[in-house]
Structure 1
Amino acid sequence: MRSIGLIDMQSGGDVSRIITYGVGHLPGDSVLGKMRYIQQHGDGFRRLLLSEPYGDPYMSLDLIVEPSNPKAQAGYIIMEAMGYPLYSGSNTICTATAVLQSGIIPMVEGEQSIVLESPAGLAHIKAYNENGRVQSITTQGEPAYVEARDQEVDVPRYGRVRYDLVWSGAYFALVDAAQYGFHLTADETTALAAFGDALVTAARPQVTSQHPELGEVGPLPFAHFMGPLEPVGDDGYRTPSATYVHPGVICRSPTGTGTSARLALMYDAGDIRDGQWIETVSPRGSSFVGKVLGEATVAGHRAVHSDITGRAWTLARSEIVVDLDDPLVDSSDLEDVLDTWPD
């Protein structure tokens, strides 16, 4: 018997399960190293909590771990249906809110700065707190950059599809939705998921699984569908968007990393400048705001610093009991990473 402590959060409609206890010591000299260990030796944990009867693949997991960087107050490992993204905006918003509202990191009234360590590096976070609740989170992860423009791939049933490849914590295939008849509305979700599945499956063989600084990051996991830009004042834009997660999921939120990827593509083309912002709106109507902070460089690539602002809400606090004798529990690579049953 094992127990796992959870705080379920949602940001933009995407559910993140924050794991506060239940996993034992993970070897590794960084959060990235700890992530690689559980990925190789304990992936049953991810599968358990994202599958019936314990969960579903539309959820994400954020495992709280000890940070290795002295600047960080906590570390977190992100797990999704597609595997182990190195960074995620919505997951960071949920994790930061959970650790503050639960007291893992003591909350300060008003504006509070904290640092979390993700597998991709440090996330610098500003929380705005009022009466013991986090009202908003602004998170800045590592820089995003364009890996390749004007890529094309033959996609069965859809023909030749053009996309741009961008890194923003994971690799994204960015697609102009209008070129393929999409308006990014709620009634298109099923069709978008089918198109995203076909595109990512076809594109994976030609997309690198190597990051120039982080090493192996796995096969292409995401596609981001871009809608038209609507100017808002002198410095902003609003745009419909949708993010596909392989296999088969359209996110309820527009996603923070999808928003960062769009900013990187616009910045590289000279279509947005420092201090300007975009509000990405998902097919379900939820939105995040991404702001350009300035130019950066990643392994010789022109990159951009940006931040993402959103809010998270608590859905549940619970303890899951896992019986390793249960025939629905695959304990083959699970038992070694779980803590023993508490005395």
Structure 2
Amino acid sequence: MSVVACHAEGEACDVVVGGIPHVRGQTMLHKQIEFMSHHEWRRDQLLNEPRGRCGLNAVFLLPPCSLGAKCGLLFAKNDEYVPVSVSSMIAAAHVIVNGPDAEIDRLKIPTTRFTFDTIAGAVDVDVNLKRESSNGFNIPKCQAVTVHGIPSFVFGLDYELDLYGLGQISIDVAYGGVICAFVDADSVGVSIHDGNGQKMIEIGERIKNALRELHDFVHPVQADLHGVSTVVFTDRVDRDNSGSNTRKKTNMAAVISPGRLDRSPSGTAVFARLAVLYARGDISKETLSCQSIIGTRLYGRIRGKTMVDKYEAILPSVTGRAWIHSLKQVGMNPGDPFPEGFRGADQWGPDEYKRGRTVTYDPHNLELPSGW
């Protein structure tokens, strides 16, 4: 596999640009089913140790199914596939415009727009470009990527959850590409910084497991998308005095599979957080600056409103940056005793967990079209 390795605001992502055989399917969902049936070992080979690690994501660039789309994207996490990954889309967009196969002559300055085909639908992306001189050539350099997200909505506010040792805590649950549960960090006795990472992971996993036992949150249109995937610790939203009066700021820490902190603020969590803040009347047209545990930021805003079945939803957009740091060819030595890699308990958790799959989005039980 040909891979361009990036990070998007700190979150690592391998963008697989070549080496994947033709994946059949009339939709991206069908392609994911085909990929999981015949090529999942490639995901494991890439993300498991020793070639990968538990903090690595992958996005596979495939031919699109939708007319007019630039390419189709399959988002692979270590323990799950997700319909949308904002950090992976930011990384993929950066690779398309500044990677080794970039079609520089087709880029428009200052903004190039294209569409990604995803399981969640078509997603428009704006790439902000600035012309820079390098070795006598004027090259359009990517400055930032804006992902115009899918409709995001709130399942419910102020769910009461009673956890041993923590007492009764209040949880907001919203969808922003994955289903997120939000908890105020102060309410569980932690502050959002890297030094509290292990404590947030422990509490976040307990909250996620408890919510899955008590509530089966199901997307009203995509029934296979169910269950809380991400627990996000939040603090208050303040006015951002460093910019204009139309900007607010907050800190976020997202606990994701297989039990780790997202290095970025998590773009899907920003989508969902905007939906929660809008439902509470805490934000409307302002830009929300979201800071991660390592100080990186994503900027979110609401560009419109819509409905998803019975839910009032927002149309969010998130802006962030990515950096390419290496190019690699990933293959398999015939004598390698770990062709699909391995997972050590020190990083991946106990054996019964690290061998299992997190069933947040599992289309294995879906039927392929007749005559497939």
Compute the TM-score of the two structures, normalised by the length of structure 1: 0.90
Q: CA 1:99 to 1:231, structure 2 compared with 1: closer, same or farther past 3 Å?
A: same
Which of the numbers 169, 191, 199 marks the counterpart of 1:161? Answer: 169
Are the counterparts in 2 of residues 82 and 245 from structure 1 also a CA contact under 8 Å?
A: no
CA offset digits 1:90-110 (Å, max 9, x no partner): 111111111122335643332
The structural deviation recorded for 1:40 is: 4.3
CA offset digits 1:59-82 (Å, max 9, x no partner): 110000111111211111111123
CA offset digits 1:250-298 (Å, max 9, x no partner): 011101111111100011122211x311100011111000011111111
Q: Distance in 2 between matches of 1:39 and 1:155?
A: 36
* Consecutive unaligned residues in structure 2, runs of 5 or more: 131-138, 342-372
Q: Distance in 1 between matches of 2:127 and 2:263?
A: 23
Are the counterparts in 2 of residues 58 and 249 from structure 1 also a CA contact under 8 Å?
A: yes
How many aligned residue pairs are there? Answer: 327
Q: CA 1:10 to 1:93, structure 2 compared with 1: closer, same or farther past 3 Å?
A: same
Q: CA 1:113 to 1:240, structure 2 compared with 1: closer, same or farther past 3 Å?
A: same
Q: Distance in 1 between matches of 2:217 and 2:35?
A: 19
Are the counterparts in 1 of residues 125 and 145 from structure 2 also a CA contact under 8 Å?
A: yes
Q: Distance in 2 between matches of 1:161 and 1:43?
A: 38
1:261 aligns with 2:272: yes
| Residue 360 of structure 2: aligned partner | none
Q: Distance in 2 between matches of 1:61 and 1:156?
A: 36
Which of the numbers 194, 199, 213 marks the counterpart of 1:191? Answer: 199
* 2:48 partner letter: S
1:28 aligns with 2:36: no
Are the counterparts in 2 of residues 67 and 73 from structure 1 also a CA contact under 8 Å?
A: yes
Q: Distance in 2 between matches of 1:145 and 1:203?
A: 18
Q: Distance in 1 between matches of 2:143 and 2:276?
A: 30
Q: CA 1:55 to 1:153, structure 2 compared with 1: closer, same or farther past 3 Å?
A: same
Which of the numbers 237, 250, 255 marks the counterpart of 2:248? Answer: 237
User: What does residue range 148-297 of structure 1 map to in structure 2 within 5 Å?
Assistant: 148-208=156-216, 210-217=218-225, 219-232=227-240, 233-273=244-284, 275-297=285-307
Which piece of structure 1 moves more, 145-154 or 83-92? Answer: 145-154
* Consecutive unaligned residues in structure 1, runs of 5 or more: 332-343
Which piece of structure 1 moves more, 157-166 or 82-91? Answer: 157-166
| Residue 338 of structure 1: aligned partner | none
| Residue 46 of structure 2: aligned partner | 49
Which of the numbers 150, 153, 172 marks the counterpart of 1:145? Answer: 153
* 1:63 partner letter: F
How many percent of aligned residue pairs carry the same amino acid? 23
Q: Distance in 1 between matches of 2:202 and 2:315?
A: 32
Q: CA 1:156 to 1:178, structure 2 compared with 1: closer, same or farther past 3 Å?
A: same
* 2:238 partner letter: E
Q: CA 1:162 to 1:246, structure 2 compared with 1: closer, same or farther past 3 Å?
A: farther
Q: Distance in 1 between matches of 2:156 and 2:179?
A: 11
Q: Distance in 1 between matches of 2:107 and 2:5?
A: 19
The structural deviation recorded for 1:42 is: 3.4
| Residue 127 of structure 1: aligned partner | 127
